[in-house]
């Protein structure tokens, strides 16, 4: 099995299970007895482990990673990594020194689209605070990839919310992830998919294709990522790399196949003290995903959901349907892509995203 990004590995470093928000999706902090709020391993053990991969990417993750900002600064000072990434709600922005922000290759800021949608799900004035952080990052010299990382649920109008973020001209890329697989928020998930989400995806792809034709590559991560997998005849595994070339390091030093799989035995693949990156156990998706004709692009979508089956069959079939729909819409754009490449309106490099595993899951 070939890794899309080469031999390098992505390590999610969970700096704390604690969060400073109480979003409707997850309720806030993890239980402290499951995801500790403080790191208990020593930095030398982390350094010795990660630096065995000279091409490693480190992604700071939580909870809210900035709760343990001093640990982030120590890691970035002491450990050599090819790339640094952070997924954050941004509200504790000032806790991390400017020089460390400017060393990040990618910053994923949590924002769900329009103000009314973001604030409904994440809390009062969160939208305004995140926008201010994005502006501060730009004004303070951040040159990396600034990504709006959306969580998508029933109040989301995918077309309007994505175009709203595009129109702000603050973000290099926009990624969205559906709140599916275990969520209890939905009133009519299937109806929303059919009447709201799928028409919205079609409208977004039409918009994206029109912009391509005039030489503008709008940075919609699911579209670019799916296109990359199609054009490179990609790997047979989840695009996020979980269990294969992306792993999570818990605050205890335990290594997991997936950063959200802290509560299941199959995800425990090693630890900092007794393993190296090369001998961590690998975990693969299974079941009907392996025989699906879309598997070479979708890769099973999500390792955790594939293993745990927390939603009912009808709802998970709908997740598969909208995934296939999105892939088909991008397949329908291939003639546009080839045309603009042949006319040299855009270059191959313009479409090559992500350049490395920057922790975006690709398949929503």
Q: Is residue 98 part of a domain?
A: yes
Residue 363 lies in a domain: no
Domain assignment of residue 337, yes or no:
yes
Structural contact between residues 69 and 101, judged by C-beta atoms closer than 8 angstroms: no
244 closest CA partner among 271, 216, 270, 281: 281
| Assigned domain for 2 exists | no
pLDDT at 3: 43
Note whether residue 86 is domain-resident. Answer: yes
- 235 belongs to a structural domain: yes
pLDDT of residue 108: 98
pLDDT along the chain (364 residues), means of 10: 59 97 90 94 97 97 98 98 98 97 98 98 98 97 97 98 98 98 94 98 98 97 96 82 96 97 96 96 93 94 95 96 98 97 96 96 97
Is 133 among the domain residues? Answer: yes
> Given this model, what pLDDT does residue 233 score?
80
Q: What is the pLDDT of residue 1?
A: 35
Sign of the C-alpha dihedral computed for residues 176, 181, 187 and 189 taken in this order: positive
Query: pLDDT at position 8, please?
Result: 86
Give me the pLDDT at residue 5, please. 43
The total domain count for the chain is 1
Is the preceding omega at residue 63 within 30 degrees of 0, hence cis? yes
pLDDT at 232 (0 to 100):
86
Domain region containing 109: 10-351
Does residue 354 have a cis bond before it (omega within 30 degrees)? yes
Residues 6+ apart with CB under 8 A from 221: 147, 173, 174, 175, 176, 353, 354, 360, 362
CATH number of the domain residue 338 falls in: 3.20.20.70
Position 153 in a domain = yes
- 231: how many CB neighbours lie within 10 A of its CB? 15
């Amino acid at each position: 099995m070939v890794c899309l990004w080469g031999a390098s590995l992505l390590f999610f470093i969970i700096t704390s299970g604690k969060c400073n928000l109480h979003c409707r999706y997850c309720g806030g902090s993890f239980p402290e007895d499951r995801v500790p709020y403080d790191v208990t391993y020593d930095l030398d053990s982390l350094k010795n482990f990660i630096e065995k991969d000279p091409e490693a990417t480190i992604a700071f993750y939580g909870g809210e990673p900035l709760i343990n900002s001093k640990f982030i600064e120590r890691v970035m000072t002491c450990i050599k990594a090819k790339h640094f990434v952070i997924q954050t709600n941004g509200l504790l922005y000032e806790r991390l020194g400017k020089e460390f922000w400017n060393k990040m290759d990618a910053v994923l800021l949590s924002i769900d689209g329009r103000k009314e949608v973001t604030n409904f799900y994440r809390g009062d004035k969160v939208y305004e605070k995140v926008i201010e952080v994005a502006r501060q990052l730009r004004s303070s010299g951040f040159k990396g990839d600034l990504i709006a990382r959306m969580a998508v649920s029933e109040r989301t109008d995918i077309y309007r919310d994505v175009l709203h973020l595009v129109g702000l001209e603050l973000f290099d890329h926009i990624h969205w992830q559906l709140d599916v697989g275990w969520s209890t928020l939905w009133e009519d998930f299937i109806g929303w998919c059919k009447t709201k989400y799928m028409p919205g995806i079609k409208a977004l792809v039409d918009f994206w294709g029109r912009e391509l034709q005039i030489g503008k590559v709008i940075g919609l991560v699911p579209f670019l990522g799916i296109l990359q997998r199609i054009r490179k005849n990609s790997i047979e595994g989840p695009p996020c790399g979980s269990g294969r070339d992306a792993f999570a390091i818990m605050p205890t030093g335990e290594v997991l196949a997936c950063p959200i799989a802290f509560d299941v035995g199959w995800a425990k693949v090693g630890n900092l003290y007794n393993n190296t990156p090369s001998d961590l156990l690998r975990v693969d998706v299974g079941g009907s995903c392996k025989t699906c004709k879309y598997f070479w692009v979708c890769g099973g979508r999500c390792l955790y959901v594939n293993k745990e089956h927390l939603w009912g069959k009808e709802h998970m079939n709908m997740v598969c349907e909208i995934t296939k729909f999105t892939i088909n819409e991008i397949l329908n754009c291939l003639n546009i892509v080839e045309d603009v490449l042949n006319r040299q309106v855009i270059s191959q490099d313009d479409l090559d995203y992500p350049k490395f595993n920057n922790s975006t899951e690709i398949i929503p």
